[in-house]
Amino acid sequence: MSEFGSLAKNSLRFLVNYSVRSCLSGVVIYCCWISIMAYSWFTWHVILCTLGMIPLMSEALLLFAPDELWSRQLPRTRKYFIHGFLMTLGTVLVTAGCIDTFCFITEGYHLYTAHGITGLIAMILMIVSIVSGVMANYSKYLRPVTLKFYHNCFGLLGYIIGIISLCFSFYTNWFCYFTSYESRIVALVATVLGALWTVSPALGSGFRQIKTLVQ
């Protein structure tokens, strides 16, 4: 690829990266603002889960994008530390948000909704991802690439299912009561497009790990 072509590609990816951040930031503001305006105990479920998924987990995944300007100069070990910190904090917030709902709000009703079921599955996968990530860093008995592959799979599945749960949430009774149809469509499109771009670095890493495992 020519120097001009490489520059054009990097410039395009730079613009897309920060367009994605703008979309996801808009979703965060949208969800948090509505929940604050309609304040109740349920507000904390919306805020904690939204902040856990976006921006914390999204940034944890974008961290390893090869064209990510703020992190590309960091050593690999520092990236792992920041990734682990962001994922752990995001998982803690999502778990706290789910506990808020399980214990104080809907008395089990959430387990019969698509939003509640996918949210619970995502939370479990995220916790498993954290455990497998710690094992990948410190285990002396299993191949690190094998554990990293499992960590990548659980983390990706947890994030993707969590995003699906967020999309379902836009059409729960609570959201429909406080928002307009048009705003929910915009939030849905921004969330899906942002998430698709966010998982691309992790998908590339997963394919490389599969190649290593089968060799």
pLDDT digits (tens, 9 = 90+) for 30-78: 999 999 998 888 889 999 999 999 999 998 888 877 767 677 778 888 8
| Percent share of the chain, pLDDT over 90 | 45
pLDDT value of position 108: 53
Is 188 domain-assigned?
Answer: yes
> Is position 166 within any domain?
yes
> Can you tell me the distance from the alpha carbon of 184 to that of 207, in angstroms, rounded to the nearest whole number?
34
Query: Which residue's entry shows tokens 């967020």?
Result: 166
Question: What is the Rg, in whole angstroms, of the alpha carbon atoms belonging to the chain?
Answer: 18
Query: Is position 143 within any domain?
Result: yes
Q: Look up residue 84 and give its two tokens.
A: 């682990």
CA distance 78 to 38: 40
Asked whether the predicted pLDDT for residue 1 surpasses 60, the reply is: no
Residue 46 forms part of a structural domain: yes
Overall domain count for the chain: 1
* Average pLDDT taken over every residue of the chain: 84
State residue 202's pLDDT score. Answer: 77
Residue 3 belongs to some domain of the structure: no
Q: Can you tell me the distance from the alpha carbon of 209 to that of 146, in angstroms, rounded to the nearest whole number? A: 8
User: Does a structural domain hold residue 104?
Assistant: yes
Mean pLDDT calculated for residue range 3-12: 67
pTM of the model: 0.88
In a domain, 18, yes or no: no
| DSSP notation for 163-191 | HHHHHHHTTSHHHHHHS-HHHHHHHHHHH
pLDDT tens digits for 139-183? Answer: 665 666 777 788 888 999 999 999 999 999 999 988 999 999 999
Answer whether 45's CB lies under 8 Å from 105's CB.
yes
Per the CB < 8 A criterion, the answer to whether 47 and 35 are in contact is yes
Q: By residue range, what is the domain housing residue 87?
A: 27-61+75-214
Which tens digit of pLDDT belongs to each residue from 75-92? 888 888 899 999 999 999
- Would 94 be classed as within a structural domain? yes
